[in-house]
Amino acid sequence: MKLWIITGSATESGAPIYLQSSGRWTHKLSAGHPISSEDERQSLLEAARGQQKLVCDPYWIEVRRAELGHLAPVSLREKIRAEGPTISLRPVPQQLVATASRTAAASA
Amino acid sequence: MYRYDHYDQALVDQRVAQFRDQISRRLSGEITEDEFKPLRLQNGVYMQLHAYMLRVAIPYGLLSSDQLRMLAQVSRTYDRGYGHFSTRQNIQYNWPRLQDVPDLLADLATVQMHAIQTSGNCIRNTTSDHLAGVARDELVDPRVYCEIIRQWSTLHPEFAFLPRKFKIAVTGAPTADRAAVRVHDIGVRAIPGPGPDDPHGFQILVGGGLGRTPRIAEICREFLPREHLLSYLEAILRVYNRYGRRDNKFKARIKILVGALGIEAFSQQVEAEWALIRDGAMQLTQAEFDRVAADFADPGYAALESSDLFVQSLALSKDRALGRFVASNVIPHKQPGYSIVMISLKAKGKPPGDATAEQMELVAELADRYGFGRIVVAHEQNLVLPDVESRHLPDLHARLSALDLAEPNIGKVTDIIACPGLDYCNLANARSIPIATRISDKIEDLDYLHDLGDISLNISGCINACGHHHVGNIGILGIDKQGEEFYQLMLGGSPGDDASIGKILGPALPSAEIVDAVANVLRTYIDNRESADERFLDYVRRAGFEPFKEQLYGSNDHV
Ligand code: SF4
């Protein structure tokens, strides 16, 4: 059986948000409301479109039940969207910053 | 560099106030996303996978140290402490909150920066040679013309709603195109005048571009007297605005129009339009040229002896880290005693083009200390300190090394251009950044890297080609095959004077195989080149694809 969740981007931050069964929105995909019928999917999508103050461009995504019954997105795009970039920026470690300041002081 | 006059400042300040109001109406629900979208796009705000993205304009890539410091501060205050320098010589922030954008833009306006025309179907930031003003092979300083184009194209009322976005690039070096002018909607090449005493003018190229339909620009006018630059650009834009397709986004760029009409018919249209306006108010007078050129005067170089031999000796230094850095990241300057220093934003394991706030601040400080406070963003997603006294190179190298900014790989295969890809981008099919970092991890041996010589490797996460994969000597395009990331490998592209579009080598490869495939291609080249002087691109052009296919796919029936 196919499952879907309604998602969109939060107006305030652009972050992905997911529609819950309460009609509220959550940042956690796993807390989204799984939909199993196309009729319900359509009516919830219409309702989400009405919440334009909170959410931008709502749409539905396919999800599946992963291990332990958690909901997980089917597509890689939605997985990355839900979990964040797969790369680390590798910000300059504080240690390197400290070394840099010492080098600066030495060459001043 | 160019300083805003009161018109520029008023315009930018007013735009901040206007956008502040539009954002507040969006947040209060007074306007919908559909109504807001065209407004935010006119101010450089996109919606990406995880957040809004703000693109800030850096006209022709030129920054003052104060501006770079502000970019760092903005990244720390409103974003996550880093920024991404793009192939359009701009900077992008990946995580701003909508409510913070007005304050962010107001802060930028205090250092004469903005995000106007960084998105939408208008004339975008004019790009140029990152060595502009300091290169030895330059005929004229292209920044003067870029600035003139910037002033003409900013909020030009006739060109605010073009069929599609429009990109202009200018080079002042007739024999060394570092601005990729042949893959722009309009490429402007400064060339000498017809006679020995004639002033320089421009060759005007039109209809180049990448994306879904890559195309090398064709010559629209062989020689344009320099005083007519703006009227001629205006004529091209008018023809495009009139005949460019608006019914199909994928066929709306000027390259499609030029292709459909043919270059001769297209240039006839342009010439006819130009005849109506060429002698009007857009003619560039010497006084106007001088007014703008004054902002790009030499910064006050000291009279020094040539440092060429000194720099050559540094390249052979026993300190191999310094030697490699000087050999690959230092370029001769037009002014004796000075050098151009390229700062690679392609350190191992790091997303190409990203710089942290600390790194930006360090570069700003070093620019003040060693280089008249100027920094340039290169379209290859690196930074440039254009005016360093050569005697400071060892100190500068030490300072850069301390913050991971001294990777000696400029022009080498790990100097990878990569778009944000599926890690950030709403339109992506596949990830780009992890492929780039895996390739740079794979090529660990710096002697091998330098032995490979100059090779460009460009990666895009979809056919929109923001990573310029078509013009990489090696190009990688991410595609989606039934939900899996696959990558097409292309060879033979070049963005320069010998511009060419790369061709697909064979069937797309899964993510797990693409990095080894690149290593295989490099090995094939090393094993078969005539000598170390035969560049990768020359080898590909001479030997064709067969040696690579054989090594990569085994028998040819795979292909
Ligand atoms: S090439 Fe595609 S994936 Fe990469 S930034 Fe451009 S639109 Fe996004």
Local structure of A92: helix, strand or coil: coil
The CA distances from residue B308 to B181, B391, B407, in Å, are 30, 11, 22
Residue identifier of the C-alpha nearest atom 6 of ligand 1? B466
Q: Is the pLDDT of residue A105 over 70?
A: no
Ligand 1: atom nearest CA of B428 is: 3
Beta pairing partners, B504: B490
Whether the per-residue pLDDT at B433 is higher than 50: the answer is yes
Among B90, B212, B466, B469, the mutation site with the greatest number of ligand 1 atoms within 8 A of its Cβ is B466
Judge: A97–B403 Cβ closer than 8 Å, yes or no.
Answer: yes
CATH for B417-553 is 3.30.413.10
Report chain B residues whose CB lies below 8 A from the CB of A52.
29, 32-33
Best CA proximity match to B432, nearest among B463, B403, B454 = B463
Task: Check pLDDT > 50 for residue B383.
Answer: yes
What digits encode the pLDDT tens for the residues B297-330? Answer: 999 999 999 999 999 999 999 999 999 999 999 9
Backbone dihedral angles phi then psi of residue B3, each to the nearest 5 degrees: -110, 140
Of B446 and B265, which is predicted with more confidence?
B265
How many C-alpha atoms does A53 have within 13 Å on its Cβ side?
7
Nearest Cα of chain B lies from the Cα of A71 at a distance, in angstroms, of 18
Predicted confidence at residue A98, as pLDDT, reads: 53
Q: Distance (Å, rounded) from C-alpha A18 to C-alpha A82?
A: 10
Please tell me the distance from the alpha carbon of residue A84 to that of residue A78, in angstroms, as a whole number: 10
Angstrom distance (rounded) from CA B225 to CA B486: 48
Mean pLDDT of B170-186: 97
Contact B431 A86 (CB under 8 A): yes
pLDDT in tens, B477-533: 999 999 999 999 999 999 999 999 999 999 999 999 999 999 999 999 999 999 999
**Mean pLDDT, rounded, of chain B:** 96
B461 CA closest ligand 1 atom index: 3
Q: What would the CATH number be for the domain defined by B308-401?
A: 3.90.480.20
Two tokens, residue B132: 């502009």
Q: A90 CA distance to ligand 1 centroid (A)?
A: 22
pLDDT mean over A85-94: 68
At residue A68, the pLDDT reads 84
What's the average model confidence in pLDDT over A59-80?
A: 94
Q: Residue B554: pLDDT band by 50, 70, 90 thresholds?
A: confident
Q: How far is the CA of B478 from the centre of ligand 1 (A)?
A: 9
Per-residue pLDDT reduced to its tens digit, B389-420: 999 999 999 999 999 999 999 999 999 999 99
Within an 8 Å CB–CB cutoff, is residue B32 touching chain A?
A: yes
Contacts of A72 in chain B (CB under 8 A): none
Q: Is the pLDDT of residue B438 over 60?
A: yes
Identify residue B399 by its one-letter amino acid code. R
pTM of the model: 0.94
Six token digits for residue A104: 């600066």
| Contacts with B33 from chain A: Cβ below 8 Å | 11, 52, 56-57
User: Angle of helix B320-329 relative to helix B308-315, nearest 10 degrees?
Assistant: 130
- In degrees, to the nearest 5, what angle opens at C-alpha A104 toward C-alphas B405 and B444? 25
Residue spans per domain, chain B: 6-109, 127-295, 308-401, 417-553
Atom of ligand 1 nearest to the CA of B420: 5
- Residue list, ligand 1 pocket, CB within 6 Å: B 419-421, 425, 427-428, 460-462, 464-467
Which residues on chain A are in Cβ contact (under 8 Å) with B349?
Answer: 90
pLDDT of residue B557: 45
The residue-averaged pLDDT of B39-67 equals: 97
Are the C-beta atoms of residues B339 and B309 closer than 8 Å to each other? no
**φ/ψ (deg, to 5) at B183:** -120, 35
Domains B6-109 and B417-553 share a fold: no
Closest CA to B252 of B181, B165, B157, B159: B165
pLDDT reading at B555 higher than 60? no
Alpha carbons B462 and B418: distance in angstroms, whole number: 11
Question: What would the pLDDT profile of B260-299 be if each residue is shown by its tens digit?
Answer: 999 999 999 999 999 999 999 999 999 999 999 999 999 9
Find the CB nearest B402 among A75, A77, A99.
Answer: A99
Q: Are B324 and B446 in contact (CB under 8 A)?
A: yes
Dist CA B298 CA B318 (whole Å) = 34
B48 to chain A: which residues are within 8 Å by CB? 14
Nearest to B340 by CA among B356, B351, B349, B329: B329
How many C-beta atoms lie closer than 10 Å to residue B157's C-beta? Answer: 6
Q: How confident is the model at residue B366 (pLDDT cuts 50, 70, 90)?
A: very high
Q: Identify the residue among B422, B424, B487 best suited for mutation to test binding to A, counting A beta carbons within 10 A and taking the highest.
A: B422
- Closest CB to B351 among A53, A84, A89: A89
Q: What pLDDT score does B558 carry? A: 44
Chain-chain contact of A14 with B354 (C-beta, under 8 angstroms): no
Q: CB-based contact (8 Å) between B100 and chain A?
A: no
| Distance from the B462 Cα atom to the nearest Cα atom in chain A, whole angstroms | 13
Q: Residue B438's closest chain A neighbor by CA?
A: A87
* DSSP 8-state class, residue B469: G
- CA B42 to chain A, closest CA, distance in angstroms equals 17
Query: Smallest Cα–Cα separation from B320: which of B447, B444, B448?
Result: B447
Please tell me the distance from the alpha carbon of residue B20 to that of residue B103, in angstroms, as a whole number: 8
pLDDT of residue B444: 86
Of the residues B48, B92, B212, B419, which should be mutated to test ligand 1's pocket, given the most ligand atoms within 8 Å of the CB? B419
CATH of B6-109, one of 3.40.50.620, 1.10.10.10, 3.90.480.20, 3.40.630.30: 3.90.480.20
Contact B47 A90 (CB under 8 A): no
B393: tokens are 């190179």
Question: B127-295 in CATH: which number?
Answer: 3.30.413.10
Query: CB of B380 within 8 Å of any CB in chain A?
Result: no
CA distances from B550 to B20, B472, B538, B546 (A): 59, 21, 19, 6
> In this complex, do A87 and B434 lie within 8 Å of one another by their Cβ atoms?
yes
> Are the Cβ atoms of B399 and A104 closer than 8 angstroms?
yes
Cα distances (Å, whole numbers) of residue A108 to B229, B337, B388: 47, 22, 17
Q: Which of A86, A89, A99 to mutate to test the interface with B (most CBs of B within 10 A)?
A: A89
Q: Do A107 and B395 touch (CB under 8 A)?
A: yes
